[in-house]
Structure 1
């Protein structure tokens, strides 16, 4: 199969599965999915700079950005959080299993066999550790996001808050004539 088809399928294909997810879940977990995409892209760029891996082929016109980071990684992050969030150990075990598969099957065997990406200065186990550390950071980020939204909902819809024009005047201000 043509590498460009595989790369574009990894970029666009996973987003089709989001039609199966509720919109509330997409809204809830999209910030962590986007954060995963940005963090993976940064890690990928640092890995290229440090000589950890070499991209032999990427999706045109993306030069040094793997479609895996933008498409597949983002959507998998959304699905993992949908099913495992608020159960940290289930989340961590699920991520560890997937990261082992990606590090040892995709990065060590499949991508080099189709001449797409080669690990050069790093072992598959080290890529697994990087991915696992990223998973813990993503979980912390989602906890932070949840806390922010909880606090903003609590203050935004507080029944005690009223616009200044709707507040009753004090007794002193009630009896004063308007001065112009």
Structure 2
């Protein structure tokens, strides 16, 4: 009986998760030095553009399928515009001064995203379903972004 009630409310929980991943992360930035946050906004927006392109490619090559989304988004998940850029800012904010720390942190965060968050949270809540790409492929894709955004920020700093 309890499980039935939980499953009945799952679409509402999924929508709540989508809204949370879109809006809530941005509030974390107010607790940081906003001047330093502004310094990394450009790389966060670059990351949004880059990953938005890959969401489009994923749709064409059927890497994954969006199964639940906010009403105004179609084939790009809400966390691409909330959680992802904020995590990008946080990683740059705390690790950019040491490139080995930066790359090491990204290796760990991308592993958590690909092997824990994706299958056990995002897929279980029905945000998307992996189709022609496995979690290891997702991990490699995420790792592929790291040198690109790092080099972008280095270029931006010059």
Alignment equivalent of 1:113, drawn from 124, 136, 152: 124
Which entry has the higher C-alpha Rg, 1 or 2? 1
Asked which structure has the greater RCO (Cα within 8 Å, sep 6+), the reply is 2
Deviations 1:78-129 (A, max 9, x none): 0100111131111111011111111111222322222221111011111111
**What is the rounded CA distance, in whole Å, between the counterparts of 2:144 and 2:97 in structure 1?**
18
**What is the rounded CA distance, in whole Å, between the counterparts of 1:113 and 1:82 in structure 2?**
31
Question: Contact (CA 8 Å) 1:107, 1:118: kept in 2 or not?
Answer: no
Indicate the residue corresponding to 1:33 in structure 2.
Answer: 44
**What is the rounded CA distance, in whole Å, between the counterparts of 1:113 and 1:16 in structure 2?**
26
**What is the rounded CA distance, in whole Å, between the counterparts of 1:63 and 1:94 in structure 2?**
31
**What is the rounded CA distance, in whole Å, between the counterparts of 2:28 and 2:120 in structure 1?**
26
**What is the rounded CA distance, in whole Å, between the counterparts of 1:79 and 1:59 in structure 2?**
25
After the TM superposition, which residues 9-158 of structure 1 pair with which residues of structure 2 at under 5 Å, given as runs? 9-147=20-158
**What is the rounded CA distance, in whole Å, between the counterparts of 2:101 and 2:129 in structure 1?**
31
Q: Which consecutive residues of structure 1, in runs of 5 or more, have no partner in the other structure?
A: 148-180
Secondary structure, counterpart of 1:118 in structure 2: strand
**What is the rounded CA distance, in whole Å, between the counterparts of 2:71 and 2:107 in structure 1?**
31
**What is the rounded CA distance, in whole Å, between the counterparts of 1:86 and 1:126 in structure 2?**
29
Greater shift after overlay, 51-60 or 104-113?
104-113
**What is the rounded CA distance, in whole Å, between the counterparts of 2:89 and 2:22 in structure 1?**
15
Q: Which consecutive residues of structure 2, in runs of 5 or more, have no partner in the other structure?
A: 1-9
Total equivalences in the alignment: 147
User: TM-score under structure 2 normalisation?
Assistant: 0.89
Give the aligned CA root-mean-square deviation in angstroms. 1.1
**What is the rounded CA distance, in whole Å, between the counterparts of 1:60 and 1:20 in structure 2?**
30
Secondary structure, counterpart of 2:40 in structure 1: helix
Question: Contact (CA 8 Å) 2:64, 2:129: kept in 1 or not?
Answer: yes
Q: CA deviation at 1:35?
A: 0.6
